[in-house]
Homo-oligomer: A and B are copies of this chain.
Amino acid sequence: MTDGVTIGQAAAFAGITVKAVRHYHKHGLIDEPRRDNSGYRRYGSADLLRLVQIRTLAAAGVPLAEVGAILDADPDRFAAALVDVERRLNDRIDDLIARRETLRRLAAGDRALLPDSVLAKLDRVAADLDFTPDDVTMAREGLVLIRALVPEGFDDYVSRVESGLDDPRYVSLVKRLWGAAEWEPDDPRVDELATAMADYYLSHPALLPIPAGLRAGADGAIRYSLLAHHGEEQKPAWIRLRALFEARMRSAGIDIV
């Protein structure tokens, strides 16, 4: 009359693996049961119920180190612990739902990190200026960087650019700037464009594209540099364009970096 079930049957009953049961033994969550005369563990009904309780708590995300204490607590503390477990489970669920939102935005590009209003503006501007999808991506990445590196200056920057876009001369410059992505670095138009941009910014100092906040603080130069170099790997003409533009500005007394 071998009494009780073997570890495999107990595990199947509780919906877990044999190894998990032995793991629970090793960590003291459930006492070792009687052994039969060949050394096999033999589980009784109380063990099976205990295994189901352990599994239920573990599946709810309770660390095994706490499960034992919870199950052995008196009814009041047991109930309190369950309330706490449910709270933590709710937090995890809410967290995953938030991550799902972020993920959805990642699926539509890097829109995740920009406010919807800015994205709508970007889409309008992209249509006006005949941006390619790659251009839109790069512009978006630039905005993400600005927002991440200078959060307090981001809204200001967006509204400055937006008001600038009312001026046909500014629009024309931006168009030529993006067109320059396709130029060879030694194209003579690079020089012309750098001059035109410097002239424009010098006559509209409020429009200086990197807001003042960027250069405040110790690491301002680093931030500016990071931003200014963004995308240059893909657009060689921009490297020279930026150098020329900075030189023009510096010679006009505006020390950019």
Contact = CB atoms under 8 A, between A and B. Distances in A.
Contacts of A48: 145, 148, 226
Interface in A217-232: 219, 222, 225-227, 229-231
A4 B226 contact: yes
B230 A102 contact: no
Given A61-B96, A89-B96, A93-B97, 10 more contacts: A9-B219, A46-B230, A49-B141, A52-B112, A52-B113, A56-B102, A56-B103, A60-B102, A86-B103, A89-B103
Interface of A: 1-5, 9, 13, 44-46, 48-49, 52-53, 56-57, 59-61, 79, 82-83, 85-86, 89-90, 92-93, 96-97, 99-100, 102-104, 106-107, 110, 112-113, 141, 144-145, 148-149, 219, 222, 225-227, 229-231, 233
Copies in the complex: 2
A207 to B, nearest CB: 22
A89 B93 contact: no
A3 B144 contact: no
Contacts of A49: 110, 141, 144-145
Contacts of A56: 99, 102-103, 106, 112
Given A5-B226, A82-B107, A102 B59 contact: yes
A193 to B, nearest CB: 22
Given A145-B49, A148-B13, A229 B44 contact: yes
Nearest to A3: B225
Contacts of A83: 107
A2 B112 contact: no
A76 to B, nearest CB: 12
Given A46-B230, A52-B113, A227-B45, A89 B82 contact: no
A96 B93 contact: yes
Contacts of A89: 96, 99-100, 103
Contacts of A231: 45
Contact of A230 (B45, B60, B86, B229): B45
Nearest to A81: B107
A5 to B, nearest CB: 6
